[in-house]
Amino acid sequence: MTVAGFIKSLITVAAGVFLGLFATYMSLERGFSFGAVHAGPWTTWPKMGAMDIDPYSRAVLSRTAEIPLGTAEGISFVARIENAACDYVISGNVPTSRFWTITLVDSDGLLVANDADRFGFTSSGLLRSNEGTFEITIARTARSGNWLPSGPKRNYLAVLRLYDSPLSGASASLDKSSLPSVTQGACS
């Protein structure tokens, strides 16, 4: 092998290693879409708590130390809220489950700090309409009804967790009409 051939091989190997590490870093930092199921603004990873989890999801869980719901326990959905200067409304119904929660977390998965020390709602602890639907307003300033303070962060996630739900094993039948809507309101 000539010196020029060796240098080309070295550059090729270095570029491959760099691109592989960069792709892995982006998957771990920016989220991962392997096995993701999307329904409107909500995204879930039904195999996240399963035995046959993919390597990238396993790496994300290792990095964040998050313990996902097992496939027999329930399923989690995430909706990205991109502008905390705006109000958002989560409304409607949730799929059948024994119990559910909605919480606000930041991009690191930590609860959104706020002066009211209010971080979420449970299926048994929120106001509902006569039809059984609910409406949760996410805003920096207090609102009447079901209000979640958004805190000082710019971006955050709304996390819907369904416990003991038939969706745990059948996420393929999911559509956006079965989950609450997320709509942006007024911006300050």
| Per-residue tens of pLDDT for the chain, all 188 residues | 788 888 988 899 999 999 888 877 776 666 556 667 788 899 887 777 777 777 777 776 776 667 777 777 888 899 998 887 889 999 999 888 899 999 999 877 888 888 888 999 999 989 999 998 999 999 988 899 999 998 776 788 999 999 988 775 445 556 778 899 999 988 87
pLDDT in the model for residue 28: 60
Check: CB of residue 46 under 8 Å from CB of residue 35. Answer: yes
pTM for this one?
0.78
> What pLDDT, on a 0 to 100 scale, did the predictor assign at position 81?
87
- In this prediction, residue 134 carries a pLDDT of 94
For residue 24, give every residue at least 6 positions away whose Cβ sits within 8 Å of its Cβ, in sequence order, or none.
56, 59
pLDDT the model gives residue 47: 73
Decide if 106 contacts 157 (C-beta within 8 A): yes
Q: Is the CB of residue 137 less than 8 Å from the CB of residue 148?
A: yes
pLDDT at 12: 92
**What pLDDT sits at residue 89?**
95
Establish how many alpha carbons lie within 13 A of residue 73's alpha carbon, considering only the half-sphere containing its beta carbon. Answer: 10
pLDDT at position 31: 57
Residue 158: its pLDDT value, please?
Answer: 94
Interior/surface letters 26-43, b for 16+ CB within 10 angstroms, e for the rest: ebeeeebeebbbebbbbb
Pairwise CA distance, residues 121 & 22, whole Å? 38
Other beta carbons less than 10 A from residue 121's beta carbon = 19
